[in-house]
């Protein structure tokens, strides 16, 4: 390591893996943890104290569905006491009356609400949950009534990509400040369901045009953050803004990871909060130091002028597609394996044409037997 | 529908900029620097931005802000006015301040 390790700014807290939805692209690991593995209230509060001491300024409370934690208001209050900015990432289904108001009173700063489709039928099909869309609309109204800023998150794939214009209209009508058009990242459940989710190249190109036009038209009215589909890209995403550089995540059982998919890199070992304190994990964990900075990089990253722009891309994608977590993310045009991305797109398209039931997802469920992807 | 029509706020000399309710200017003791916390993003304003942001309290008009800052920086008002307006417009477009 040549550069000093800086304090982390952001933390993603996956409070639970329980969720009322079963989206086939969930970013949680394929092996989901049951409720009895979840860290208790005191554990999370202690972790949040140490996170604030370490320099964390923003905590994203996620899951699974974080509102399934009955202690969520207490957790938010604990963070607010320390001046940490809190962002609740919710599916907005089954939130009890008065809960959002209580969270706002406890000091919650912002809510990000997901929509699986711009129409009820799509939302219900993708999440495999009846009535989900109506409940989400109601949640959005209640969020706005409390005065909390609202971001709508739309995870995009083959089955809802044509709804992008309607997603934009929906977010506008709900009074959202921000809309995230986030093309699905093929890790976790999405990797398992890649063939059923991968979009067509032409549809991706149309989507880019629609989003760019809307970003221009809606300047100062609503921000649209666009997470592009990296299988179709030239350069990779700077995943996490660089491995263990300014953010980390915590799994429901207190395991601390550099990113939410890092457990797919089987050679890494992750410490659990409680066994180690957070500062020690951030500075000393072998998993955090494995791909920190640029010293670990191989060619073509090693001599690339973009190494501190892309940070080598996604380690988990490098692992999934090249079999080597230290390789250049194959989303990069400079990767010798870049052509494999095109092959994978084509294979998925052939499945879409040949398969009689192209929509057959392996829905996300706890305890569901699923073969690990290699 | 909650809002049927939404439009972009445009800065004028009469605007009374104020930080949005869920945007916080906060001193970070760990980094010994001021941070601007907003939904999903943290900004690190420089000295000039900080001086402008501190005047975004809903009581100072843009005209007054320009006068105060010109005095503070010993600069001509006409010289700094375009920059200040541009900053405020950008922050409004990013939902950091209400004009």
Q: Is the Cβ–Cβ distance between A178 and A223 less than 8 Å?
A: yes
Mean pLDDT over residues A236-248, rounded?
89
- A363: its two tokens: 């829905």
pLDDT band at A356 (very low <50, low <70, confident <90, very high): very low
Q: What Rg do the C-alpha atoms of chain B give, in angstroms? A: 14
Contact B6 A222 (CB under 8 A): yes
Residue A306 has a pLDDT of 92
How many A×B Cβ pairs under 8 Å?
75
Q: Which CATH class is domain B20-98?
A: mainly alpha
Paired with A225 in beta bridges are: A180
Q: Which domains does chain A have, with CATH numbers?
A: 10-228 (3.20.20.70), 239-335 (no CATH)
Distance of residue A272 Cα from the nearest chain B Cα, in angstroms: 24
Widest pairwise Cα distance in chain B: 50
Contact B35 A149 (CB under 8 A): no
Closest by CA to A336, choosing from A324, A349, A345, is: A324
Mean pLDDT over residues A138-154, rounded?
97
Residue of B nearest to A61 (CA): B40
Q: Which of A22-36, A83-97, A109-123, B17-31 has the lowest mean pLDDT?
A: A22-36
Contact A172 B28 (CB under 8 A): no
Q: What whole-number distance in Å separates Cα of residue B51 and Cα of residue A148?
A: 27
Which residue of B4, B5, B10, B30 is the best one to mutate when testing the A interface, meaning the one whose CB has the most A CBs within 10 A?
A: B30
Do you find a cis peptide bond into A168, omega within 30 degrees of 0?
A: no
Mean pLDDT over residues B37-64, rounded?
95
Contact B94 A223 (CB under 8 A): yes
Residues 6+ apart with CB under 8 A from A122: A116, A159, A160, A163
Residue A352, number of CB atoms within 10 A of its CB? 17
Binding-site residues of A for [4Fe-4S] cluster: 19, 23, 26
Domain coordinates of chain B in residue numbers?
A: 20-98
Residue A66, number of CB atoms within 10 A of its CB? 22
pLDDT band at A374 (very low <50, low <70, confident <90, very high): very low
Q: Which of A163-167, A275-279, A327-331, B90-94 has the lowest mean pLDDT?
A: A327-331
Q: What Rg do the C-alpha atoms of chain A give, in angstroms? A: 20
* Chain B, window 75-94: residues with a beta carbon less than 8 angstroms from a chain A beta carbon: 89, 92-94
């Amino acid at each position: 390591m040549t550069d000093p390790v800086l304090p982390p700014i952001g933390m993603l807290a996956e409070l639970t893996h329980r969720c009322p939805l079963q989206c086939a692209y969930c970013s949680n690991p394929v092996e989901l943890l049951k409720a009895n593995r979840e860290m208790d209230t005191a554990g999370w509060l202690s972790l949040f104290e140490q996170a604030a001491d370490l320099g964390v300024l923003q905590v994203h409370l996620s899951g699974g569905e974080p509102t399934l934690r009955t202690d969520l208001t207490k957790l938010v209050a604990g963070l607010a006491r320390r001046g940490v900015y809190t962002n609740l990432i919710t599916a907005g289904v089954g939130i009890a009356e008065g809960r959002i108001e209580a969270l706002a009173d406890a000091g919650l700063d912002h809510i990000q609400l997901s929509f699986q489709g711009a129409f009820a039928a799509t939302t219900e099909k993708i999440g495999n949950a009846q009535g989900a869309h109506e409940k989400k609309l109601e949640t959005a109204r209640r969020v706005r009534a409390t005065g909390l800023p609202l971001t709508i998150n739309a995870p995009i794939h083959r089955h809802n990509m044509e709804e992008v214009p309607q997603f934009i209209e929906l977010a506008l009508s709900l009074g959202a400040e921000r809309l995230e058009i986030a093309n699905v990242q093929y890790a976790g459940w999405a990797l398992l369901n890649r063939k059923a989710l991968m979009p067509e190249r032409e549809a991706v190109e149309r989507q880019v045009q629609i989003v760019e036009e809307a970003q221009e038209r809606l300047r100062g009215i609503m921000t649209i953050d666009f997470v592009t589909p990296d299988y179709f890209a030239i350069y990779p995403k700077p995943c996490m803004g660089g491995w263990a550089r300014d953010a980390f995540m915590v799994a429901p059982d207190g395991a601390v990871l550099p990113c939410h998919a890092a457990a797919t890199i089987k050679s890494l070992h992750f410490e659990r909060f409680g066994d180690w304190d957070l500062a020690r994990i951030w500075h000393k964990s072998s998993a955090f130091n494995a791909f920190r900075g640029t010293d670990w990089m191989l060619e073509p990253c090693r001599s690339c002028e973009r190494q501190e722009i892309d940070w080598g891309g996604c380690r988990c994608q490098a692992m999934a597609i090249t079999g080597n977590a230290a390789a250049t993310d194959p989303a990069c045009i400079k990767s010798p394996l870049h052509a494999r991305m095109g092959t994978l797109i084509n294979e998925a398209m052939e499945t879409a044409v040949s398969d009689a039931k192209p929509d057959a997802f392996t829905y996300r469920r706890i305890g569901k037997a699923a073969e690990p992807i290699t | 529908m909650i809002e049927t029509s939404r439009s972009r706020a445009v800065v004028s000399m009469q605007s009374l900029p104020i930080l949005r309710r869920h945007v916080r200017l906060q001193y970070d003791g760990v980094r010994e620097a001021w941070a601007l916390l907003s939904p999903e993003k943290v900004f690190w304003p420089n000295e000039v931005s900080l001086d402008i942001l501190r005047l975004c309290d809903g009581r100072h008009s843009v005209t007054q802000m320009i006068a105060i800052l010109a005095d503070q920086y010993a600069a001509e008002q006409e010289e700094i006015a375009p920059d200040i307006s541009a900053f405020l417009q950008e922050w409004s477009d990013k939902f950091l301040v209400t004009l």
